[in-house]
Chain A
Amino acid sequence: MMRCSTVDSLLDKYVDGRLEADTVKEMATHIVSCDACSRSLAQAVGLASALASAPDGAAPAGFRARVMSEVHHLAMEGYPSRAGVADREAQRGRFYRRLGLSFMLSAALLAVSLVIPPASYPTILATGAVAADLSAAGTPKVRAALTGADRLVRGTLAKPGGLSSGSDGGVAR
């Protein structure tokens, strides 16, 4: 015969329907002859049923509409579409490209300023004399680098808006 303590430990499994048929039979044999376990079983069954029977409160009227109104605003901000995410990533990409270009221009200007005296800048821009000056400076590698930087600076200056259109970081202003 099953003991009271064993029955007590099996009550939850019984209520959840997780006991083998043989165990249930053995348990039932004990319970019909034991008032205490009979009451425990009634309580366990009653507890589970009472807990399970309480319905949830339905969402208040208009709840869905209120949520969707907010969702609409979020959608206007680009949530959560892939297009919105792609836009944000593209913006980040553009920013880093511009930042990189700014650094390149700064480096080029620095290199040029190391070689050319500031007094001659107006003349250089007007006459294109830099390449000739550079051709006489340093090793062939340095000359090639400086000439490339010179072209880059000229190309940038020649674009509409000049340096200001391509620098988010403000490095080359």
Chain B
Amino acid sequence: MTRAAKEGQPETVTDGEIIGRICDGETRLFDELVRRYQDRVYGMTGRFVGHGADAEDLAQEAFLKAFRGLEGFKGHARFSTWLYRITFNLCMDWLRRNRKPGRRTASIDAAAEVADGTVDLGKCLLAAEERNEVRKAVDRLPERYRTVVILLYYQELSYDQIGSVLDIPIKTVETRLYRARQMLRKTLRDPG
């Protein structure tokens, strides 16, 4: 099932319409925006800081920050992109404050708890153990490369959106992804 279907999309009322009505005083409609994006926002915070109380706090703060700043949302980008950017910045702030030197706090492994079923590789199948290896490899990537991998594969953002969230050109997104994949392949070829 796609994420859109899972979240009940296509939505009959657009994000922009909802935001307009919220700004006109119907603040309870923010609930609908939370419903639409809570899994993605929580998913992102979980990827970066590890699933748990910190991820939930950050996700909540992201929504509240968005709500407080809704009046200033100009609609130049999609609401989702704007929200992801807020979320991403909060995650980076959190990592700067909490991460000890040389230690990666984000635990891709934790996501394994929610991984279920076998992975369809087309012609190939990867065993669960191998999937865990992939997650560990992602977790070990330098932050700038890990970020684009998470945003592309886990958050399913487009190259455009990744560029907007990270405030970098698409060409840089492509370059980082290329290098990230190279590193991942190398790590998976030569583990240890």
A-to-B contact residues, CB < 8 Å: 12, 40, 42-60, 63-64, 66-68, 70-72, 74-75, 79-83, 85
Are the C-beta atoms of A80 and B130 separated by less than 8 Å? no
Please name the residue on chain A nearest to B22 by beta carbon.
A80
Please name the residue on chain B nearest to A42 by beta carbon.
B124
Could you count the A-B residue pairs with CB atoms below 8 Å apart for me: how many are there?
144
For the complex formed, measure the closest distance between the CB of B192 and the CB atoms of chain A, giving whole angstroms. Answer: 17
Asked if A59 meets B39 with Cβ closer than 8 Å, knowing A45-B121, A45-B122, the reply is yes
8 Å CB interface, B61-83 against A: 63-64, 67-71
Are the C-beta atoms of B115 and A43 separated by less than 8 Å? no
8 Å CB interface, B175-192 against A: 177-178, 181, 184-185, 188-189
Bound: A48/B70 CA distance, A? 36
| Interface pairs (8), CB distance under 8 Å | A54-B135, A54-B154, A55-B114, A64-B31, A67-B64, A70-B64, A80-B70, A83-B25
Which of B8-16, B40-48, B92-100, B165-173 lies at the interface with chain A?
B40-48
Are the C-beta atoms of A53 and B120 separated by less than 8 Å? yes
For the complex formed, measure the closest distance between the CB of A33 and the CB atoms of chain B, giving whole angstroms. Answer: 17
Are the C-beta atoms of A68 and B34 separated by less than 8 Å? yes
Please name the residue on chain A nearest to B60 by beta carbon.
A67
Bound: A67/B67 CA distance, A? 10
Please name the residue on chain A nearest to B40 by beta carbon.
A56
- Please tell me which one of the listed residues A43, A47, A57, A80 contacts residue B46 in the complex, with CB atoms under 8 A apart: A57
Secondary structure dominating the interface of A: helix
- Please tell me which one of the listed residues A51, A58, A85 contacts residue B42 in the complex, with CB atoms under 8 A apart: A58
Are the C-beta atoms of B71 and A80 separated by less than 8 Å? yes
Are the C-beta atoms of A50 and B114 separated by less than 8 Å? no
**In the complex, chain B residues whose CB is within 8 Å of the CB of A63:** 34, 38, 42, 56, 59-60
Asked if A56 meets B131 with Cβ closer than 8 Å, knowing A40-B185, A82-B71, the reply is no
For the complex formed, measure the closest distance between the CB of A6 and the CB atoms of chain B, giving whole angstroms. Answer: 15
Bound: A85/B35 CA distance, A? 26
Bound: A60/B27 CA distance, A? 23
**In the complex, chain B residues whose CB is within 8 Å of the CB of A42:** 123-124
8 Å CB interface, B98-157 against A: 111-116, 119-124, 126, 130-131, 134-135, 138, 149, 152-156
Please name the residue on chain B nearest to A48 by beta carbon.
B153
**In the complex, chain A residues whose CB is within 8 Å of the CB of B25:** 81, 83
